[in-house]
Structure 1
Amino acid sequence: MAVYNAQLLHAIAEFLSSGFQVYLSNLICIMLRPLLLVQALVGLASAAEQLVPFKYQTLPLGSIKPLGWLRNQLELSASGLAGHEWDFYRFVNNSTWTGGTWEYSGLHETAPYWFNYIVPLAYTLDDARLKKQAKEFLDHVLATQQADGWLGTETKSEERGLWGRFFVLMGMIQYAEAEPSETERIVTAMHKFVNLAHSMLKQNYLGLVPRDANDVFGAGNHGVTRAHEMATAFQWLYDNHPNGNEENIWGAIDLMFKGGIAAQRDWRTFFVDGVFPTVGMPDIVDRRFVHGVDLAEGMRWPTALYRLDKNQSLIEQTHKGVNLTFTYHGANSGTITADEQLAGMAPNRGSELCMSVETMWTMSYLYNFYGTNAYADRAEKVAFNAMPAMLTPDWWGHQYAAMANQPFVRNMTKSIFANIGKYGTVFGLEPNYPCCTVNHPQGYPKFLANSFVKYGNNGLIHALLSPGEVKTILANNNQVTVTSTTDYPFRTTITYSINAVKAFDFYIRIPEWTVLGSSGISINSNSVSRLKPTAEGHQKVSVRAGKTEITISFGQQLEVVTRMNDAVAIHRGPLLYALDLEYTDTSIPSQQYNPLQPLPDNQLYLPYTKDHSLTPTTPWAIAIDPKSIKVHEEGGALREPIYKKGGPPLWLELDACDIDWAVTDDILDLPPKNPVCKSGKKKVRFAPYGSTKVRMTELPIMKV
């Protein structure tokens, strides 16, 4: 059309030859200008009317129910600390969000973190008690939404930080999906808030970029560094319930990113060779992006922006960011090594629990967007190793930080960590900042919620392998139920029972560690055939209407990975293994994190809230012979809870010897190079990492 209009003007101009040529030509231009303006606006709208979609689509919360060991873990969470914080934990039940006075920072994030996990935990388990908690919070927040649209009690601009609202919005989003009867009032509240946010952001990024030290919402610059998170919530609103408010939603999303960039928190400048730090703190000079949880979430930043501006370079930069992160700061357990701040690869440095659950969610998000198999593997690695290792078997206690080489857990003489106290490895209520107390329970509920995803109109993928049952509706009102019966990751066979009204395509994700030669699949008890993964890493099964049964098994093998100082770590399939130490457990009533002193009884949930110190009773300073490994596997039903000591039905046996290993002020040295055996050869037992609470993971090789 634009070309046509230009040609028309040119023809008219050529036709005209008298003195009024300019006059008439200008008149025509004036007549055509509205048309050209409309065309320009339509062009912009068409470019902005669609966010780049995810490759795979998640299902509404509650569509997937847990089974087996995963259900037991979620039930323990519900009956443990996570399910009772609403009853007693001061930063939740007496939060400013519900009319109380307790907050531990100007971010006002604690109750929002809680809401973000209690909704998926409640609806995953269909737990009436937890649903009641979630509804009470939702009702209060919506009833007290301020006239200008603000969510929360803050009235002063220096207190009104946008980022802390993100977790409330995420809880609302999940609630709206799980309870369609609540969708309208939730969406209405979100529109009021996004309109206010858009207005604030147009005022030099008010509420996002702190102006000075008086803006208490800017503590640590976490909000501006994680600007993409609020944008993610707004993208859901734009995708699902725009309600004619596209301009304001799009504008708010755009300004969230622009505000972060203006504040020099542009992750594109960080995920670059030569810029990204290859060492840990305190040796990092530019510290804008060194916070570990910021990084766990920041790996989503380029993709969230790509959905908006469609710049193809952001795809490559996402992959680059993930690879750089795990190449230089990756832990064997699947998480990031960062004790608040990036710590390199040292096995005596810590990994924060918040970072584990955020890494799980980030990898799930990236897998659903790109379909890159390695991202799902990473989500599983954290879920089966890093996260459970930091929790007591009854889910009443957690560590703030854990180490790969952690032979004892206690109030240390001196902290090696960048920004975590000496008490940070103790299992308890709040061994350090309270964020992990209120954030860690999102891990398994969101893992389950991403375990099955839709592929197109008529496809369903089992993406994050685990026991569970999904009920959903595919194309043409095809009602489908898939039950996954498995002990995975402790055993690598899965049986699917499928009922479908009509035919559909079922896909099973094949982990990258799978040994195809010893893997197989059987459909409806027919002979076993070899797996044939698609380019995306799926085993595709064309399921007919009616009942179908599929049994699939994944071959696995030992993998010995070399780490710092030539120490090694041992993996097998989705599991990491560590020296299984005997220990004594000494407990005291839970301490508050700052100052470190006993909490009064009215701030505890007695007798369950205790802090646990663990002391080894068997030697931990050893060198090993990886060539001597023997795998042991038991049959029978899995023990519950699975992540207690001795819980998993498999372990490794290998040769080892005692060596000298220095400890100074409760800080282990790095693994010694070329150690000398102090004793003769002996047998030691390695257990799945997630079941070990004191452990040695990265060990030197003994001279045989």
Structure 2
Amino acid sequence: MNRRAFCKQLSAAAALAANTRAFGFPATGPTDNAVKNRAPLTPNTFDPLPLGAIRPAGWLRAQLQIQGNGLGGHLDETWADVGPNSGWLGGTGESWERGPYYLDGLVPLAYQLDDARLKAKAQKYIDWTLNNQQPNGMIGPRSNDDWWPRMVILKALTQYQEATGDSRVIPFMQRYFSYQISQLSTRPLRDWGKFRWHDEVLSVLWLYNRTGDPKLIELAKLLHQQGYDWQAEFANFQYTHRITREFIKLDEHKGLSDTALATHGVNNAMALKASPVWSLLSGNNTDRNALMHQLAELDRYHGLPNGIFSADEHLAGPNPSQGTELCTVVEMMYSLEVALAVMGTPILGDRLERLAYNCLPGTFTDDMWAHQYNQQPNQVQCSLNHKPWTTDGPESNLFGLEPNFGCCAANFHQGWPKLTANLWMASSDDGIAALVYAPSEVQATIRSTPVRITEQTEYPFRDKIRIAVHAEKALNFPLQLRIPAWAKDAGIRVNGQSQPSPPAGTFAKIERTWKQGDTVELTLPLEARANKGFNNSIAFERGPLVFSYPIGEDWLKLRDRGMTADWQVYPTTQWNYAVKTDEIKATELPVAEGPFTLKASPVKLEVKARKLPAWVAEDGVANPVPQSPVTCDQPEETVTLVPYAAAKLRITAFPELKI
């Protein structure tokens, strides 16, 4: 090494050291303890447990394994955007959001399954990112300086650090945040980063809670100051109609005008966490609760019967033939997981389950080797049609590798793993809480004592949940159980002894001295019900599951795409039914692996119906549901409904027959 090179390297090392001193605190290692908010942050109601503390079991583990065996575990082998030439591996390929998106789901999937193959895949991205930080602290590929993809890679790194305790992560983040705070005055947030600022604030506060450096609070406030004011938008919500290309001037601004970004579905899904996250710094209950108003406005003007709002790709109104982007589903799930931790509002858990057990699996093939960009509650054909999308293209509801746009191919991976990571959380009263129900096992340190809790259940297909507590010694702590708002007459038994019936829509708290092997049995009665929606249409539900009429399917391969393929799906049966709601019969079948598939549906509903010939499809899209009630002289039939996710062609919102 010549003298000039030596001095250059020495200067770079000094710069890194200076940045480390600016944010210089020791790294933490892997632990099963939840990290609570430091002052001056407002305490969470519930604190997430670190990645790896919760492991899936039963049907949930099988679902994660399907993802690992499908695109989730092989995308880098068949899609160049996250393949060996990715900019996030030092290559000259895609260098923006897709590598970070993929890693954000791959890391939790790998560690929840404890899968060496998947861990090795993730490690390549992790090592390149950590080992190639620039001397000034900037991270990622040098081909762009956009703040947005760095926000995503930070989320992946925080999860990885929790799972492994890798000592490189915290100094790496310290150097980057030191660099960013020095740059934001001259290079402020723009477009995607401006509208998604809250996702970075989460990583900034994650680091603050581990280091206590006050400069991180300054950075969080600066991100908020430069970010879009979502709370103000929804205080006087103007986007109450179906958005069009002309309205957002898509051809002029390429989708990057403030109007386009404010009406973008994924941005709105991510923004549901903005007010709760900011409330941690403001301490203001108005900020804390603004989320509920956001949800109410989205439901009122764009709500769909599957539990999400329309966004294909911009807000699209309440017609159930409109669609929702897959990225919107997984980002809304993550926002609700964050908000549930901050606010502790039980109904957010209800909403999260509705998305996870309907919208998420409803947009994949059974083997998770193909997905849709847009899914529709009333989806009668998946083919190359321009209708009904607001701003998307004709491939939008195909099943494939990257239909319409590739963001969802990279981003869908976070859905199941992050749900798993947030099934349980530590409670502010030094206990533990079950926020979402699925078969799982959690290991945590409660009041300085290691505790293992197992949850055996076939929920959401069955009404029984059995929780067993395994502690090293007798230990007093509170266990909180979310009682859904729909669960009337829920029952709790502790070691076989009945407890007072908990009110629906609350958290039931059981505080006692727990002994090895104590059990709690929770019963959430799953009564079928009919709800009204757009044009007084009817949607059927049972617990968190939404039900659909399954249309016969003819799958036609459009083209091969490496290890997978793109598919069109055409109807083989009629679908235009109007229904009665006076009789709903539920039938339970065995719960097997792949419970979200048509061939293995564990529960079905039967209702009375008549065909409605006037209700037709145009260009492969079902016309809006006729205004109910309707009359019809066709013969009465008994039709069978299956869980929403099982039917890839389906009717979910029906006109109601006049009695």
From the superposition, tell whether residues 684 and 541 of structure 1 become closer, same or farther in structure 2 (CA, over 3 Å): farther
Taking structure 1 as reference, are residues 586 and 535 closer, same or farther at Cα in structure 2, changes over 3 Å only?
Answer: closer
In 1, distance between residues paired with 2:652 and 2:60?
25
The residue number in structure 1 matching 2:27 is none
Q: Give the corresponding residue for 1:672.
A: 626
Structure 1, 170-179 or 308-317: larger mean CA deviation: 308-317
String of CA shifts for 1:258-286, please: whole Å, max 9, x gaps.
112xxxx211221114x342222139675
Structure 2 segments unaligned to the other structure (5+ residues): 1-36, 249-258
Match of 1:246 in 2: 214
Which of 72, 77, 90 is the matching residue for 1:82?
72
The residue that corresponds to 1:31 in the other structure is none
Deviations 1:51-98 (A, max 9, x none): 222111111111111011111110000011010112232111122111
Superposed, 1:445-464 pairs within 5 Å as 445-456=417-428, 458-464=430-436
Instruction: Give 1:252's aligned amino acid.
Output: L
1:101 alignment partner, one of 92, 110, 113: 92
**Would you say 1:422 and 2:394 are equivalent positions?**
yes
SS of residue in 2 equivalent to 1:555: coil
Q: Once the 2 structures are TM-superposed, how far is the Cα of residue 135 of structure 1 from its aligned partner? A: 1.2
Among candidates 323, 335, 338, match of residue 362 of structure 1: 335
RMSD (Å), alpha carbons: 2.0
Equivalent position of 1:193 in the other structure? 176
- Show the counterpart of 2:595: 642
Contact 1:457–1:474 (CA under 8 A) maintained in structure 2: no
Instruction: Report the CA distance shift for 1:431/1:543 in structure 2 as closer, same or farther (over 3 A).
Output: farther
Instruction: Pick closer, same or farther for the CA change 1:420–1:287 going to 2, 3 Å.
Output: closer
Instruction: Tell me if the contact between 2:491 and 2:502 (Cα under 8 Å) persists in the aligned partners.
Output: no
Amino acid at match of 1:61: L
CA distance in 2, matches of 1:559, 1:240: 46
Residue in structure 2 matching 1:442, options 409, 414, 424: 414
SS in 2 for 1:270: helix
Q: 1:122 aligns with which of 110, 113, 119?
A: 110
Change (3 A) 1:535 1:662: closer
The answer to whether the 8 Å contact 1:506/1:543 transfers is: no
Equivalent in the alignment of 1:269 = 232
Q: For 2:480, which of 502, 507, 521 is the aligned residue?
A: 507
Gaps of 5+ in 1: 1-46, 210-220, 591-598
Structure 1, residues 236-265: CA drift from partner, whole Å, max 9, x if none? 1111234xx422x222211111112xxxx2
Q: Aligned pairs, how many?
A: 607
Q: Superposition pairs for residues 545-556 of structure 1, below 5 Å?
A: 545-556=515-526
CA offset at residue 661 of structure 1?
Answer: 1.6
Structure 1 distance, partners of 2:230, 2:189, is: 16
Contact 2:607 2:639 in 1 (8 A): yes
Residue 442 of structure 1 and its aligned partner are, at CA, apart by: 0.5
For residue 217 of structure 2, give the secondary structure of its aligned residue in structure 1.
helix
Asked if 1 retains the 8 angstrom alpha-carbon contact of 2:488 and 2:503, the reply is no
**Mapped pair 1:70 → 2:60:** yes
**CA–CA separation in structure 2 for the residues paired with 1:276 and 1:240:** 40
1:574 aligned residue (538, 544, 549): 544
Q: Following the alignment from structure 2 to structure 1, what is the Cα–Cα distance between the partners of residues 185 and 546?
A: 49
The answer to whether residue 178 in structure 2 is matched with residue 208 in structure 1 is: no
2:292 to 301, 304, 319: 319
Task: Find the counterpart in structure 2 of residue 654 from structure 1.
Answer: 607
CA distance in 1, matches of 2:491, 2:45: 27
SS for the counterpart of 2:592 is coil
Pairwise CA distance, 1:538: 2.1
What fraction of aligned residue pairs are identical, expressed as a percent? Answer: 30
Which stretch shows the higher mean deviation, 567-576 or 284-293?
A: 284-293
Shift of 1:232: 1.6
Distance 2:141 2:646 in 1: 42
1:160 maps onto 2:145 in alignment: yes
Distance in 2 between residues matched to 1:197 and 1:678, nearest whole Å: 68
Tell me the SS of whatever aligns to 2:177: helix
Q: 2:364 aligns with which of 382, 391, 395?
A: 391
User: What does residue range 299-310 of structure 1 map to in structure 2 within 5 Å?
Assistant: 299-310=272-283
CA distance 1:685–1:392, shift in 2 (3 Å): same
| 8 Å Cα contact 2:485-2:505 kept in structure 1 | no
Q: What is the distance in 1 between the residues matched to 2:299 and 2:47?
A: 26
Provide the C-alpha distance between the structure 2 equivalents of 1:411 and 1:434, rounded to a whole number of angstroms.
Answer: 17
Structure 2 contact 90–128 (Cα < 8 Å) conserved: no
3-state DSSP class of the match of 1:271?
helix
Whole-Å separation in 2 of the counterparts to 1:550 and 1:153: 51
CA 1:258 to 1:428, structure 2 compared with 1: closer, same or farther past 3 Å? same
Q: Does 1:375 align with 2:338?
A: no
**Contact residue 65 and residue 470 of structure 1 kept, 8 A:** yes
Of 366-375 and 328-337, more deviation after overlay is shown by 328-337
Equivalence for 2:24? none
Cα distance change, pair 197–490 in 1 and its aligned pair in 2 (3 A): same
Q: 2:243 aligns with which of 281, 287, 303?
A: 281
Q: 1:686, CA displacement in angstroms?
A: 0.6
Name the CA shift for 1:86/1:502 in 2 (closer, same or farther; >3 Å).
Answer: farther
Report if the CA contact (8 A) 1:533-1:539 is conserved. no
Instruction: Tell me the equivalent position of 1:113.
Output: 101
Other structure's SS at 1:514 match? coil
Which residue identity is paired with 1:410?
Answer: S
Distance 1:671 1:67, change over 3 A: same
The offset of 1:580, in angstroms, is 1.9
Rounded Cα–Cα distance in structure 2 between residues aligned with 1:311 and 1:470: 32
1:671-691 Cα deviation digits (max 9, x unpaired)? 123545362111111111111
Distance 1:618 1:665, change over 3 A: closer
Distance 2:504 2:528 in 1: 25
Q: Using CA pairs below 8 Å that are at least 6 residues apart, which structure has the higher relative contact order? A: 2
- Find out whether 1:229 has 2:199 as its counterpart: yes
- TM (norm. structure 1) is 0.83
Deviations for 1:278-335, whole angstroms, at most 9, x for unmatched residues? 2221396754510011000111112222222323321232321122222222222122
SS at match of 1:341: coil
Counterpart in the other structure of 1:295: 268
CA contact (8 A) 1:579 1:687 kept: yes
Offset at residue 474 of structure 1 (A):
0.9
Contact 2:242 2:390 in 1 (8 A): no
Which whole-Å CA distance do the structure 1 matches of 2:239 and 2:397 have between them? 25
> Mean Cα displacement is larger for which, 250-259 or 666-675?
666-675
Residue identity matched to 1:540: I
Q: Give the aligned partner of residue 405 of structure 1.
A: 378
Amino acid at match of 2:184: L
Counterpart mapping for 1:512-527 below 5 A: 512-516=485-489, 519-526=490-497
Mean CA deviation greater in 572-581 or 502-511: 502-511
Decide which moves more: 573-582 or 610-619.
Answer: 610-619
3-state SS of 2:656 partner = coil
Q: Distance in 2 between matches of 1:534 and 1:499?
A: 28
Given residue 679 of structure 1, which amino acid in structure 2 is its aligned partner? Q
Shift of 1:534: 9.3
- Where does residue 301 of structure 2 map in the other structure? 328
Quote the residue 1:497 is aligned against: 468
Q: Secondary structure at 1:164's aligned position in 2?
A: helix
Which structure's CA Rg is the greater one? Answer: 1
Q: Distance in 2 between matches of 1:506 and 1:589?
A: 52
Residue number in structure 2 paired with 1:147: 135
